[in-house]
Structure 1
Amino acid sequence: MTDQPTPMMAQYLAIREANPGALLFYRMGDFYEMFFDDAVAAAAALDIALTKRGTHLGEPIPMCGVPVHAAESYLLTLIRKGFRVAIAEQTEDPAEAKKRGSKSVVARDVVRLVTPGTLTEESLLEARRHNYLAAFVVVRDEGALAWVDISTGAFSVMDCPLPRLAPELARLAPREVLSCDTGLEDLIAEAGAAMTDLHASAFDSGAGARRLCALYGVETLDGFGTFTRAELSAMGAIVDYLEMTQKGRLPLLRPPLRERAGGAMQIDAATRRNLELTQALSGGREGSLLAAIDRTVTAPGARLLERRIGAPSRDLALIAARHDAVAALSGDARLLADLRAALSRVPDMDRALSRLALDRGGPRDLAAIRAGLTQGAAIAARLPGDAPQVLRDAARDLVGHDDLVALLDQALVAEPPLLARDGGFVAEGFDADLDQTRRLRDEGRGVIAGMQADYAAQAGIPGLKIKHNNVLGYFIETTTTHAERMRAMPDRFIHRQTTANQIRFTTVELSELETRILNARDRALEIERAVFDRLRAAILDRAALIGQAARALAEIDLAGAFADLASGEGWVRPRIDDSRAFVIDGGRHPVVERALRRKAESFVANDCDLTKGTTPAIWLLTGPNMAGKSTFLRQNALIAVLAQAGAFVPARAAHIGLVSQLFSRVGAADDLARGRSTFMVEMVETAAILNQADDRALVILDEIGRGTSTWDGLSIAWAVMEHLQAANRCRALFATHYHEMTALSAKLDGVENATVAVREWEGEVIFLHEVRKGAADRSYGVQVARLAGLPASVVDRARTVLDALESGERQSARPMALIDDLPLFRAAPPPAPKARPLDDRLKAVHPDALSPREALDLIYELKALSEETRP
């Protein structure tokens, strides 16, 4: 005989079957419960207790649960560990279920599917980073990528051939990618995103167009631009997925913005990783360019900064306009300080607006809109009328919200609670009915206190209390010791409950008063909820204008952050034009300089000129390890990124012809999971550069060919250099230890030699970190090995081998013959400690026992010993 599932368990299994691929949070009172395999997986992931509840098919049912009030923290853990969670809430009052019979189950249904790309809760999101949901599709050899941040409403799409997918995912860093092509799993995982496999029908372009029209309430999308079939398919898939996960409650999405090809500097995934633009190689934010320059004071400003650094503009007019705004603010210290002080009080209106649109908001989100618009109006009034265009446009979007701000000011208290169901967020005097109901509720508390005093006097029990709980309501409580006095007055006190140490009573008056008070409390909450809905509707009616104001505040914040950076760090405005120049005077690495400053050390600035007449130049950079070649390469690339992102740059002066593409091959790493050695990774990245770089690109290469044999590596590096000069015709910095390549400067037009200077002193190598014209003749690898702490015997042996090889090279001898002639290394026992008579004599001295004459004699004796033992 098999177990028949209980009605509740039958309901659970039905909901679970309708939501495959997700853990089911099944609401039972104050807990979300999980059963069967979901419970086993969740208990392990959350490190919570796994219990049992009943049986199914003869086996105990595993069970675990999490409190509803703490569910967000558990959700965050599950999402970070790759789970999706379906939230099943009670959709009716339990009292209604009881009316249908004792075996009736409270109606439940999934109200939301929580996935990595659909988070909106403040506690689940990083305030200073976007949380993108992306969709990629190929329709008849035409690819498109769409992405949305439902926590802010930002919605974008672009034409994206398959080869461009990896670079774009690296730029956007989405949390979740929708696709119907399972062959993209590895590529998407490499970008750090979770892939959600959708059926191909979700990417139907016709259905996608209809979904978008319905979303925006239009008959045609022509007003938003012209979209390809692939772009409509990708956007439609996102809307379809949001309808499914949000159960029809769509977020407030802005009209889709179509990014045009060539609008931003092209930066591939390897370059972003090598340059540590937004994330350090260690995996965290600290140590990245973004962390070093982020002086924004608002979360939307920080997210805008990340977008600008990730996609520097190629629009000369736009770059100049942004530089104008930075220049104006950096030149007016008082205005800048006032703006940044006001901005620091601006909440995240974008995310508050999104939560309100999804009906997940609370009173504090209303207050956030009020505070943001209030500060926005003050900031607009502070900006001068002759401010640069970027600031004037922002100021224009910050005004015109006076009526809404006045409504919110009248309606809300200064510090509202988090949840609307808690009440207490509507200001006194806003709603007369609410004020009257509150008086009844609050005066009832005073009446209860007076009634308690009367009952205590009547019964002669000073410790008698009137209490309240959700089961009994109001009741009179006393100890068992005094209960007989109250039992002696049965007409007055009616027994309700006996516990271990307390006896509980009620009276007719207390029950009647409880009814009036409870009705007043519920009525007050009902009125406040109606006020909340009214205020929410007023905000959503102006959602588009509020969104514009939020973006304007982010723009001002970023301009102010760049201005603060420029004035505080001595950065200068770069000259950006349509030439192919690249001239940096006294450039510095912003991240390294910041780290050195913390250690009270200074950074050595260096010049870089990749322009030879009107022709782009290539610098062939030689010099020892640890001298700063990689730092020099990276700092020039970062200066280009900063300049086109709209910031000033760390240099004395900079003239940069617009950079269309930025490529970097710096550092060494393998990719064992895909069967790639360090050298293979290096060659793949180099191939991508040579196949894609155009004549407006900036390329930095470090140690090409070092992962293979000397002559193979030199041959590859030589050929790569020639290709960059002859085929790509781009600006480049090429660092190498192959000194033979310095001969190319005499053979190839535009190629110049540069070296990082060092100085030798008494066998030591001193790194000057200065880049000069010319070529290095040595790499000083043995000296660097000694600095790294290699055993002295190994360093000495390396010097012996090096001297023999260099001597043989000058005599044109075969390297192998020289190596054959070298005696093999022998591990020698550690040398015996040297005699130290001076130390021994000092140890034998007892200063307190010496007379003045003996002390003087000792000084002469020690001086003589010192001269005898001096080498």
Structure 2
Amino acid sequence: MMAQYLEIKAAHPDALLFYRMGDFYEMFFDDAVAAAEALDIALTKRGKHQGGDIPMCGVPVHSAEGYLLTLIRKGFRVAVCEQMEDPAEAKKRGAKSVVRRAVVRLVTPGTLTEDTLLEARRHNYLAAYAEVRGAGGLAWVDISTGAFHVQPVPPVRLSADLARLAPREIVVPEALDARLTAIGADLGAAVTPLAGTAFDSVAGERRLCDALGAETLDAFGSFGRAEVAAMAGIVEYLELTQKGRMPLLQPPQRESAERAMQIDAATRRNLELTQAMAGGREGSLIAAVDRTVTAAGARLLERRLSAPSRDLATIRARHDAVAALIAAPDLTDALRSALRRVPDIDRALSRLALDRGGPRDLAALRNGMAQAGEIAGLLDGADLPDLLSETAAGLDGDPDLAALLEAALVAEPPLLARDGGFVAEGHDTELDDQRRLRDEGRTVIAGMQADLARDTGIGSLKIRHNNVLGYFVEVTATHADKMLSPPLNARFIHRQTTANAVRFTTTELSSLETRILNAGSRALEIEKRHYATLTAAVVGQAAPLSHLARSLAELDLSAAFATLALEEDWTRPTMEDSRAFAIEGGRHPVVERALGRQGTPFVANDCALDQEGPAAIWMLTGPNMAGKSTFLRQNALIALLAQAGAFVPAKSARIGLVSQLFSRVGAADDLARGRSTFMVEMVETAAILNQADDRALVILDEIGRGTATYDGLSIAWATVEHLHGVNRCRALFATHYHELTQLAGRMDGVVNATVTVKEHEGRIYFLHEVRKGAADRSYGVQVARLAGLPEAVVSRARVILDALEQGDAAGRRETLIDDLPLFAVRAQPETPAAPTESPLAARLRDVRPDELTPREALDLLYELKALEG
């Protein structure tokens, strides 16, 4: 047995080997040590190898999925080795024969299909990247749904496109492994190198055609050689991990960068589209806007937010669908009620195709088709816009398949086919008979006993059972002669005589006994046969079932956007093929949601990036904590939501198509790569200035901080000039460099705006209102005081600030630096003046409350009131 283990392990050196032994998956040697530590399970020993103990650990087969998930999350790959025969079959080859075993699956982060290993509301992408003659191709697949996509990707854009997909695993040629490893680390994706031959575009094209069941790829579109190479890498890896059992793959959809808003990795992170800065979903945009009620609808929402459309007709069609459902709230409520009962059709179908499904997956498809029929009935006769009409037409499933599943399956099937009990009564007469024998054997025997007693005229005749004879007919000794004489002796076969009774059998009883004993296994065999038949029927209808699932997801998302707009008072944006950007009463969807939980209203603001000049730039000034970053982000999110097909959090919105969305907001370092906060900021700013076109929307926050004042100011100034004169785009530029406000008078299209505050008795109050104009102060000292800096530090900062401002106003900044004690001789800490006690405090110090009468207390109150005045 150990020789077999070592042979199989040698073929999978990079994976933990789950070696099936009865009801456990066992691991040995280094695998056992690593798995025991990762899973926090006991490490034991089994036998000897080369004179040393063999480490061993194991997990039960019935709960293996939970352990698999833990190992995958900790970066392991797992080879699942199953018994291909039972021990009885092995013994037929010889007493010492070892049960045949083989690896049936290689479990990796990008090849998961089980519900327990997946997030229901997120895709689980496996991506592959290849280059051919300098051109790049990116392919990605979710084998749990069959979604298959490919796109030409210039190497310079690879990081941004992978950030959009957020794949769990990336397959690359060995020659590109080093380059992709850093990108994968940023995304939290495993990077798996394969031999370059796996990405051969010529040989790979044939493998692709075989996997897709097509003679040529021309049936699916025109693909570049790099795209074919990337798809070939996907297919090669799936054949390797699935051991020849290919998942159901939908025809590859060729994506184009020109059809979607381009958003780089830094912008996705800064805007917290699908994950908050703190980690996790809560606090992200998707968490704030998700009103979907199906898993497929939630995955579609994530795709739309990750890649908003740039096609005006597509965007308007989606807005039309949302508007129609808003106008018909009763229909929308009924749709959402029906959609809540829709299972995850795509994932059930994929598991069945990979032989990892069960009766519940068949039931999920049955229920999904039934709900689709109900939803189609709701939409029948309704006045629908084009998108909803097309979607409704896609709800027509296969009525024959639906009827077959409805007739064949019980209402609530078990999880596993091997458990039986999932075929409905009445679907198969033979199965019903076998179940009756299995479940009602005693009743059947009692019926035969009554028949034999009547036929023989012996009322005391009994049918009994023991472990030696099995079932037998028993009569008392007084009836022995009758049973042994003609004509009964021809029917009854003597088996045993005891002191008081004689025992017989009959051919009918022996046959019945055999059928009763075998009824359970026979019933299970029949059910397994039906399971195979039903699975084949379902897989044969994979394409229409996938289309049905997509239609239901589209309906769910449209209804979810309608519900969101009604709940949050969002409005339909006016979309144009222009460079307009006019928002009235815009709000930040995530911040507004958080404030709403606290009972605090959100202050809405306008934003009008008028295209009077070559560019449209708002120069935004104001103190920290006043809401500049929120204002920047909310306008970026409004543009993104509009092109994703949603209504927007604003009173009104007129938006020209945004081709690219860039954000340089927030501060973070990258110490692992030796990058300071300032360096990270400069790298991200460089990416914007080198890539933004005239249809881009750019938000920049405090460019130039983190270095010397004049260096930072110079960089910020030059950045604005480049955005204005070269990129010629729409931009919101928040800064504390008030010198930049002078640009508004020198450049067409540059407008000053400020976030207002109110100052009263040395304290500031944030109004969060954005108005035209420039701030004359940043209120940094006041914000520092609010943050809790010691009063001595705040007071000293005021002195220094006043001196600096006076020096700046007098045009003698250089001389001022020498004049300040801070830069000449270290200033001694000021001794705080002794506090002067107020008359009110002095009087209160002398009061003895317990000694006062009610009248004296009242008099004291009037006295204190007078002192306070």
Shift of 1:54: 0.6
Matched with 1:816 is: 817
Displacement of 1:103 in angstroms is 1.6
2:772 maps to amino acid: K
Say whether 1:117 aligns with 2:110: yes
Q: 395-404 vs 659-668, which deviates more?
A: 395-404
1:819 maps to amino acid:
L
CA RMSD of aligned residues (A): 2.5
Gap change, CA 1:414 and 1:834, over 3 Å in 2: farther
Query: Is this contact kept in 1: 2:77–2:107, CA < 8 A?
Result: yes
Question: Do residues 440 (structure 1) and 437 (structure 2) align?
Answer: yes
* 1:479-500 CA distance string (max 9 Å, x none): xxxxxxxxxxx9999xxxxxxx
Change (3 A) 1:341 1:830: farther
What is the CA distance between 1:742 and its match in structure 2? 0.4
Which amino acid in the other structure matches residue 200 of structure 1?
G
Contact 2:164 2:265 in 1 (8 A): yes
Q: Following the alignment from structure 2 to structure 1, what is the Cα–Cα distance between the partners of residues 446 and 37?
A: 50
1:166 equivalent to 2:166? Answer: no
How far apart in 2 are the matches of 1:492 and 1:304?
77
Letter in 2 for 1:553: L
Displacement, 1:823? Answer: 6.9
- Per-residue CA deviation, residues 55-107 of structure 1 (Å, 9 max, x unaligned), is 10111000000000000000000000000000000001210112222221100
Output the CA distance in 1 between the equivalents of 2:47 and 2:832.
Answer: 73
Q: Which residue of 2 aligns with 1:671?
A: 670
Report the CA distance between 1:863 and its aligned residue: 3.5
Letter in 2 for 1:182: D
Match for residue 735 of structure 1?
734
Identify unmatched segments of 5+ residues in structure 2: 449-464, 472-495, 500-507
Question: Relative to structure 2, which stretch is displaced further, 187-196 or 306-315?
Answer: 187-196
2:325 pairs with 323, 329, 333, which one?
329
CA distance in 2 between counterparts of 1:861 and 1:14 reads 96
Aligned to 1:261: 257
Residue number in structure 1 paired with 2:597: 598
1:157 aligns with 2:156: no
Does the aligned pair in 2 maintain the 1:385–1:392 contact within 8 Å? no
Other-structure match for 2:238: 242
- Cα distance in structure 1, aligned partners of 2:93 and 2:158: 56
**Deviation for aligned residue 1:613:** 3.2
Instruction: Find the aligned partners of 1:385 and 1:768 in 2 and give their Cα distance.
Output: 47
Letter in 2 for 1:826: P
2:322/2:559 contact within 8 Å kept = yes
* Partner residue of 1:104 out of 77, 94, 97: 97
Any conservation in 1 of the 2:626–2:766 contact (CA below 8 Å)? yes
Look up the SS of the partner of 1:806 in the other structure. Answer: helix
198-207 or 93-102: bigger deviation: 93-102
Q: Compute the displacement of 1:809 (Å).
A: 1.7
Confirm or deny that 1:386 pairs with 2:383.
Answer: yes
Look up the equivalent residue of 1:26 and give its one-letter code: Y
Residues 315-464 of structure 1: pairs in structure 2 closer than 5 A: 315-383=311-379, 384-444=381-441
- Counterpart residue identity of residue 668, structure 2: A
Which residue in 1 is equivalent to 2:849?
845
Deviations 1:492-515 (A, max 9, x none): 99xxxxxxxxxxxxxxx9999985
Q: CA deviation at 1:645?
A: 0.3
Q: Measured at CA, do residues 449 and 571 of structure 1 come closer, stay the same or move farther in structure 2, by a change above 3 Å?
A: farther
Is 1:27 the counterpart of 2:20 in the alignment?
Answer: yes
Q: Which residue of 2 aligns with 1:139?
A: 132
How far does the alpha carbon of each residue in 1:514-565 deviate from its partner, in whole angstroms, 9 at most, with x for none?
Answer: 8544410000000001111111111111110000000000000000000001
Structure 2 CA distance for aligned equivalents of residues 300 and 801 of structure 1? 60
- Does 1:284 find its partner at 2:294? no
In structure 1, stretches of 5+ residues that fail to align are: 1-7, 452-465, 476-489, 494-508
Q: In 2, Cα distance between the equivalents of 1:267 and 1:715?
A: 27
Taking a change above 3 Å as real, the CA distance of residues 767 and 492 of structure 1, as seen in their structure-2 partners, is farther
**Cα deviation 1:361-396 (Å, max 9, x = unaligned):** 101000100111111111112114530111111111
Judged with a 3 Å threshold, the aligned counterparts in structure 2 of structure 1 residues 519 and 668 are, in CA distance, closer, same or farther, namely same
Supply the distance in 1 between the matched residues of 2:69 and 2:834 (Cα, whole angstroms).
Answer: 60
The answer to whether the 8 A contact 1:782-1:798 is kept is yes
Closer/same/farther in 2, CA of residues 368 and 754 from structure 1, 3 Å limit: same
1:44 and 2:41 equivalent? no
Shift of 1:857: 2.4
Q: Note closer, same or farther for the CA distance 1:798–1:401 as it changes in structure 2 (3 Å cut).
A: same
Q: Is the 8 A contact 2:615 2:750 kept in 1?
A: no
Q: Distance in 1 between matches of 2:296 and 2:790?
A: 53
Aligned-partner Cα distance in 2 for 1:67–1:797? 68
Rounded Cα–Cα distance in structure 2 between residues aligned with 1:157 and 1:100: 50
In 2, Cα distance between the equivalents of 1:754 and 1:449? 94
The secondary structure found in structure 2 opposite 1:601 is: coil
Number of the residue aligned with 2:459: none
Letter in 2 for 1:398: L
How far has the Cα of 1:861 moved from its partner? 3.0
In 2, Cα distance between the equivalents of 1:467 and 1:261? 77
Deviations 1:196-223 (A, max 9, x none): 0101010000111000111122221111
Cα contact 2:18–2:79 (8 A) shared by 1? yes
Q: In the comparison of the two structures, how many residue pairs are matched?
A: 811
How many Å apart are 1:811 and its aligned residue? 2.3
1:577 aligns to 2:570 (yes or no) = no
In structure 1, what is the Cα distance between the partners aligned to 2:786 and 2:703? 25
Once residues 857 and 15 of structure 1 are traced to their aligned partners in structure 2, the CA distance between those partners, rounded to angstroms, is 96
288-297 vs 610-619, which deviates more? 610-619
Could you say if the C-alpha distance between residues 834 and 405 of structure 1 is closer, same or farther in structure 2, counting changes exceeding 3 Å?
Answer: farther
1:59 to 52, 65, 68: 52
- Distance in 2 between residues matched to 1:604 and 1:616, nearest whole Å: 27
C-alpha distance in structure 2 between counterparts of 1:677 and 1:492, whole Å: 98
Which residue does the alignment assign to 1:681?
680
Q: Which amino acid aligns with 1:597?
A: G
Match of 1:212 in 2: 208
Paired letter, 1:377: G
Distance 2:773 2:466 in 1: 89
- 1:622 match: 621
Among all aligned residue pairs of Structure 1 and Structure 2, give the percentage whose two residues are the same amino acid. 68
Assess if the C-alpha contact under 8 Å between 1:801 and 1:822 holds in 2. Answer: no
Shift of 1:400: 4.0
Shift of 1:279: 0.7
- 177 and 491 in structure 1: CA distance in 2 versus 1, 3 angstrom threshold: farther
Q: Counterpart of 1:806 in structure 2: which amino acid? A: E
The alignment status of 1:564 with 2:563, answered yes or no, reads yes
Letter in 1 for 2:767: L
Question: For residues 92-124 of structure 1, what are the alpha-carbon distances to aligned partners after superposition, in whole Å with 9 as ceiling and x for unaligned?
Answer: 121011222222110000000000000000000
- Counterpart residue number, 2:502: none
Cα distance in structure 1, aligned partners of 2:150 and 2:206: 17
Note closer, same or farther for the CA distance 1:445–1:41 as it changes in structure 2 (3 Å cut).
Answer: farther
Q: Does 1:187 align with 2:201?
A: no
Per the alignment, do residues 447 and 33 of structure 1 end up closer, same or farther by CA in structure 2, a change over 3 Å counting?
farther
Distance across 1 between alignment mates of 2:590 and 2:419: 47
Residue 271 of structure 1, CA deviation: 0.4
Q: 1:825 to 1:120 in 2, by over 3 A?
A: farther
Residue 6 of structure 2 aligns with an amino acid whose one-letter code is L
In the other structure, the counterpart of 1:547 is 546
Distance in 2 between residues matched to 1:412 and 1:627, nearest whole Å? 62
Match of 2:3 in 1: 10
* Conserved 8 A contact 1:580-1:616: no
Tell me the secondary structure at the aligned position of residue 803 of structure 1. helix
What is the CA–CA distance in structure 1 between the aligned matches of 2:836 and 2:278, rounded to whole Å? Answer: 43
Q: Decide whether the 8 Å contact of 2:615 with 2:748 is kept in 1.
A: no
* Alpha-carbon distance in structure 2 between the residues aligned to 1:27 and 1:511: 39
